[in-house]
A and B are shown apart, each in its own frame.
Chain A
Amino acid sequence: MLKYQSRELKATRLGFGETLVELGHENPDVVVLGGDVTGSVKTDLFMKAFPDRFLSVGVAEQDMMGTAAGLAVAGKIPFASTYGEFAVGRPFDQIRQSIAYSRLPVKICASHCGITVGPDGATHQSLEDIGLMRLLPHMTVATPCDYLETKKLVRASIGWKHPIYIRFFRDNTPVFTGESTRLEIGKADTLIEGTDLTIIACGLQVWEAILAEEVLASEGISVRLINMHTIKPLDNNIVLKAASETGAIVTAEDHQMQGGLGGAVAELLAQNIPTPQEFVAVRDTFGESGKGDELMRKYGIAKDDIVKAARRVLARKK
């Protein structure tokens, strides 16, 4: 039996857009920058509610990041939002110098991340963004796993004093996290307790891991599942505890294997508790057009891939 149930299908980006409006009512310093894809990333909701605090910069992501930095200098709370590839890949140098090195609390909110953006094809499938943002000193990197967690994460970012990158997705996806669960940036959640191995997942792979756990449990395998919504700073304690208690790790993400969640976990384990680890991630390739679920299967980041990775890592476990 599934340990978590999908109550409905709802998009993470909608959680972002709705929360911006709530925060706009609560805090007059909240401002939102628009890069001409406001309907897609759901900042149109804020634009309609607070037209004066919505600032259009056109299709100009480099300028968007700089303008957001300037708004932060003036004491505002800026949210800069567009598609993942254009929120990170295009303005990387602007984020590096004007936001990260300048250490300004800008919120970079990227929708349409990962391969599940699907039909738009590889140009729009950001599979490198976690790695790029994780490389930057001062930068926090977070990715919610469903609509509700997106709402909590965006709300928590208001009080976060560091620049933060929040990564979410286009598609309607299962809502399964609890209404009342508290979210704290940098503190991961153990969704399922287990002893044979630990799956550490982020974003949409958390749901895939819930599906995978059911299969593994039916084979008598006791799986621990951790939702790593914050990739940087990584919750070191929960990872090290999982490694010492279960002795085998699977990481799962909608991102290149290099530099993502799996890399972050491996860097930590190698220095502390070397542990067999299998990576469920995209393997050094660009994507292509297709449906999100088709692409997840073809590129090896769906439920079945997590199940296989779990069996592999158990075989390696001493």
Chain B
Amino acid sequence: MTKKPGVGEIQVIARQIRRDIIKMLMISKSGHSGGPLGLADIFASLYFDVLSIDPQNPRWEGRDYFFLSAGHLCPVWYATLARRGFIPIAELTTLRKINGRLQGHPAPPWTHGVPGAEIASGALGQGLSIAVGCALGLRLDKKPNRVYVLHGDGELDEGQIWEAIMTAGHHKVDKLIAIVDRNQCQIDNRTENVMELEPLVDKWKSFNWHVLECDGNDVAEFMQTVRQAQELKGKPSVIIAHTLMGKGVSFMEDDYRWHGVPPNEEQGKQALAELGPTPYGDFVEFDWERQPVEIGVK
């Protein structure tokens, strides 16, 4: 891509990513629906505007580092990586399949995983420590690269997260931007029923972070908030991005029961109808009279 797409085009890309997520999950018959759908706008914004990256050279030294701490959200990441050119779009048929690179929870390419992943994630709560360490290392080398890390809100129950929040505040790691997917849902129930997170903004602030909030399903607002965070100095920044779990699929929206299950064929069909086609086209067309046919992956 030679020129960055505008907000309108990123919204269309996000819609296509949602379609890709639904199709991937229908094929794999296993994986997480709600969180990934809610994050399509954020991932499209990050990979088609915010991040300095080179899909042809995922290990490019000048890259911004992106860590997905909540590994189960990977369907949205894989779809985004495919649409951005890190992996072939057709490879999305291989989610969670043997001999594939799209592990159920992500891993880096040197351990069965996917180009663009720097580390493994899946066991929750580990990504922030890694992001802090990476940012500290870059700072020691006086490099300008930024570090982004994305967390689920339920993930914040993990104690290690708060250790890392403390470490980042202590070391004033200001090239670090954490993003919290605040969709209020986790696998068992709504977050505040499982473990109260509020007052979440005050908690991060009291650990010496800059805290910003935005609508994580509003591409323009999210990108503006990121740009604001990039300008903040002296402390790490966190963006509490309020999102709607299952966004774009009426029967999944804001329903925690869609955390960890895929749509069945009928539900998937309805979801695709609600999302509507885009000019980018799907990676596999379903013939509803037959089982989905996989297409070759190079």
Instruction: Indicate with 1 or 0, residue by residue over A56-77, a CB within 8 angstroms of chain B CB atoms.
Output: 1110101111111111111110
State the CA gap A236–B108 with chains docked (Å). 30
A269 and B201 CA atoms in complex are apart in Å by 58
Assess A97 versus B121: contact at CB under 8 Å? Given A58-B167, A60-B163: yes
A62-B129, A75-B141 known; A98-B120 Cβ under 8 A: yes
Task: Encode B152-167 as 1/0 by CB contact (under 8 A) with A.
Answer: 0000000110011011
List A contacts of B111 (CB < 8 A): 101-103, 138
Indicate if the CB atoms of A67 and B170 lie closer than 8 Å. no
Chain B interface, >50% SS class: helix
Q: Chain A's nearest CB lies how many Å from the CB of B14?
A: 28
For residue B133, CB closer than 8 A to chain A, the reply is yes
- Flag B111-148 by CB within 8 Å of A: 1 or 0 each: 10000001111110011111111111110110000000
Kindly provide the distance from the CB of B167 to the nearest chain A CB, expressed in whole angstroms: 5
- Knowing A58-B167, A66-B160, A101-B107 are in contact, say whether A73-B129 is a contact too (CB < 8 A): no
On whether the beta carbons of B163 and A73 are closer than 8 Å, the reply is no
Is B123 a contact partner of A68 (Cβ separation < 8 A)? no
Q: Which of A19-33 contact B (CB under 8 A)?
A: 31
Pick from B121, B131, B160: contact of A70, CB below 8 A.
B131
Please provide the chain A residues from 192 to 249 with a CB less than 8 Å away from any CB of chain B in the complex: none
A-contacting residues, B163-193, CB 8 Å: 163-164, 166-167, 170-171
A55 sits at the interface (CB 8 A)? yes
State in angstroms the CA–CA spacing of A283 and B131 once bound together: 41
Complex alpha-carbon distance, A38 and B202, angstroms: 32
Residue of A nearest to B118 (CB): A73
Q: What secondary structure prevails in chain A residues at the interface with B?
A: helix
* B110, B141, B160 interface centre (most CB from chain A within 10 Å): B160
Please give the distance in Å from A86's CB to the nearest CB on chain B: 13
| Complexed CA–CA distance, A143 and B107 (Å) | 30
Quick check: A73 and B134 within 8 Å, CB to CB?
A: yes
Q: How far does the alpha carbon of A96 sit from the alpha carbon of B133 in the complex, in Å? A: 17
Find chain A residues with CB under 8 A from B118 CB: 73, 102
Rounded to whole Å, the gap between the CB of B76 and the closest CB of chain A is 20
Name the residue in B107, B110, B120, B137 with the highest tally of chain A Cβ atoms < 10 Å from its Cβ.
Answer: B137
B160 touches which of A52, A58, A63, A74 (Cβ 8 Å): A63
A190 on the B face (CB < 8 A): no
Closest chain B residue to A59, Cβ basis: B163
Note all chain B residues with C-beta closer than 8 A to A103.
108, 110-111
Is B65 an interface residue when CB atoms closer than 8 A count as contact? yes
Least distance between B21 CB and chain A CB atoms (Å): 24
| Contacting pair B110 A62 (CB below 8 A) | no
| B-facing residues in A64-111 (Cβ within 8 Å) | 64-76, 78, 93-94, 96-98, 101-104
Residues A60 and B126 in contact, CB atoms below 8 Å apart: no
Known A-B contacts A55-B171, A58-B166, A98-B130; the reply to A70 vs B135 at CB < 8 A is yes
Please list 15 pairs of residues, one from A and one from B, whose beta carbons are closer than 8 Å in the complex, sorted by A's number: A58-B163, A60-B160, A62-B129, A66-B129, A66-B130, A66-B160, A73-B65, A74-B65, A74-B136, A75-B137, A94-B129, A97-B121, A98-B126, A103-B108, A138-B111
CB contacts (< 8 Å) of A312 on chain B: these are none
Set of chain B residues within 8 Å of A66, measured between Cβ atoms: 126-130, 132-133, 160, 164
Q: Which residues of B contact A (CB under 8 A)?
A: 65, 107-108, 110-111, 118-123, 126-138, 140-141, 159-160, 163-164, 166-167, 170-171
A58 to B140, CA, bound (A): 19
For residue A53, CB closer than 8 A to chain B, the reply is yes
Q: Which residues of A contact B (CB under 8 A)?
A: 31, 52-53, 55-58, 60, 62-76, 78, 93-94, 96-98, 101-104, 138
> Contacting A93 at CB < 8 Å: which of B119, B123, B138?
B123
User: B137–A74 contact, CB under 8 A?
Assistant: yes
CA distance A98 to B137 in the complex (A): 16
- A68, B127: Cα distance in complex, Å: 12
When the two chains form their complex, are residues B138 and A74 in contact, meaning their CB atoms are under 8 A apart? Answer: yes
Given contacts A73-B137, A98-B120, contact A67 B126 (CB under 8 A): no
A62 touches B133 (CB 8 A): no
Report chain A residues within 8 Å CB of B126. 62, 66, 93-94, 97-98
**A102 with B140: CB separation less than 8 A:** no
Q: Given that A57-B167, A73-B119, A97-B120 are known contacts, is A68 also in contact with B110, CB under 8 Å in the complex?
A: no
Chain B min CB distance to A61 (Å):
9
| Contact indicator A31/B122 (Cβ below 8 Å) | no
Bound state CA distance, A27 and B129, in angstroms?
24
**Residues of B with C-beta under 8 A to A57:** 163, 167
Asked if A31 contacts B137 (CB within 8 A), the reply is: yes
Interchain CB contact under 8 A, B137 and A70: yes
User: Are B163 and A71 closer than 8 Å at their CB atoms?
Assistant: no
* Other contacts beyond A57-B167, A62-B163, A66-B132: 19, CB < 8 A: A55-B136, A56-B170, A60-B163, A62-B160, A63-B166, A65-B129, A70-B129, A70-B134, A70-B137, A71-B133, A72-B137, A74-B138, A74-B141, A76-B140, A94-B126, A97-B121, A97-B126, A102-B108, A102-B119
Is A70 within 8 A of B132, CB to CB? Answer: yes
Chain B min CB distance to A27 (Å): 13
**A71-B137 in contact (CB<8A):** yes
How many Å lie between the Cα of A230 and that of B127 in the bound state?
A: 31
- For B134, what are the chain A residues with a Cβ–Cβ distance below 8 Å? 70-71, 73-74
Find A101's partner among B120, B131, B166, B171 (CB 8 Å cutoff): B120
